[in-house]
Amino acid sequence: MDGMQTYVILMKFTTKGAETLLESSQRYDKFEEGIRELGGKVVSAYGLLGDYDVLIVAEFPDEKAAMKTVVRAASRGTATSKTLTAIPIKEFYALVGETLAVPPAVGGAGRGLDRGKVQ
């Protein structure tokens, strides 16, 4: 990994954002410019049909840069957002393997984890 963390940003237009939708493209350009100013970059972006209006996959040097980006966007009052940390799938499953590869419990069988039982 190059030191950048990937985030998925889901945006939903507010009433104000929907009423000024023709200006949305210019707002997006400023949003992307703000990401670059904070050392990040947009990997991809999509307009959506459904519960959210825009999906942005972006990389940031840290969570503070990601937070500043979504706070700036929220302060305009034209969209709300949900931001998710994304882990590349191979790394995700490697972490799962590391996490669940615990030694068997003393006196127990298997990998130390019994389904449905809190340990």
pLDDT digits 0-9 by tens, 47-94 = 999 999 999 999 999 999 999 999 999 999 999 999 999 999 999 999
CB-based contact 27:76 (threshold 8 Å): yes
Show the domain range for 13.
5-100
- Tallying the residues shown for the chain, one arrives at 119
Task: Grade residue 112 by pLDDT with cuts at 50, 70 and 90.
Answer: very low
Residue 113 lies in a domain: no
Residue 110 in domain:
no
Beta strand residue intervals within 2-69, DSSP E? 5-13, 41-47, 54-60
Query: Does residue 68 sit within a domain?
Result: yes
* Half-sphere exposure (Cβ direction) of 5: Cα atoms closer than 13 Å: 14
CATH number at residue 29: 3.30.70.920
Residue 83 backbone phi and psi in degrees, to 5? -115, 130
Structural domains of the chain, count: 1
Per residue in 21-36, pLDDT (tens digit) is 999 999 999 999 999 9
For residue 106, being part of any structural domain is answered with no
**Which residue type is seen at 16?**
K
- Phi–psi pair at 98, nearest 5 degrees: -65, -40
